[in-house]
Amino acid sequence: AQSVTQLGSHVSVSEGALVLLRCNYSSSVPPYLFWYVQYPNQGLQLLLKYTSAATLVKGINGFEAEFKKSETSFHLTKPSAHMSDAAEYFCAVSVGRSGGSNYKLTFGKGTLLTVNP
């Protein structure tokens, strides 16, 4: 079974500082990896996804993540934080069932990002 661990339930950065949100996964087969963002009282919005193409994935709002198989990691970064980035971020892994007909998402516990002025 697959699993996701997000290190740090709460990360606080200053506006303009580097954002680094950590995600490690466990999967017995090649995974598909996702980062979602959730703003208060809203659903989840996809930031980016890795599906076995380029290991460095660029997403929306200036975010990017790098898939490192040797470290089983998929950390999310953004060079310069903006106040509007304050939200909760979820890393998720998806592994197909036999036959590849379905992929369910397994989520990490989430990391709440606070951006200080």
Partner 1 sequence: KAGVTQTPRYLIKTRGQQVTLSCSPISGHRSVSWYQQTPGQGLQFLFEYFSETQRNKGNFPGRFSGRQFSNSRSEMNVSTLELGDSALYLCASSSSGTPDTQYFGPGTRLTVL
Q: Does 105 bind partner 1 (CB under 8 A)?
A: yes
Sheet of strand 64-68: strand arrangement: 3-7, 19-26, 73-78, 64-68, 56-58
| Sole window of 18-26, 61-69, 71-79, 99-107 interacting with partner 1 (rule: CB under 8 A) | 99-107
| Sole window of 20-28, 35-43, 54-62, 71-79 interacting with partner 1 (rule: CB under 8 A) | 35-43
Question: Is residue 90 exposed (0-12), middle (13-18) or buried (19+ Cβ within 10 Å)?
Answer: buried
Q: Does 17 bind partner 1 (CB under 8 A)?
A: no
For partner 1, the binding residue among 28, 70, 98, 101 (CB under 8 A) is 101
Map residue 70 onto helix, strand or coil. helix
For partner 1, the binding residue among 89, 90, 113, 115 (CB under 8 A) is 90
**CA proximity to 114, closest of 7, 8, 14, 6:** 14
| Sole window of 12-20, 38-46, 55-63, 66-74 interacting with partner 1 (rule: CB under 8 A) | 38-46
Binding region for partner 1 (CB under 8 A)? 32, 34, 36, 41-46, 49, 51, 90, 92, 94, 96-97, 100-110
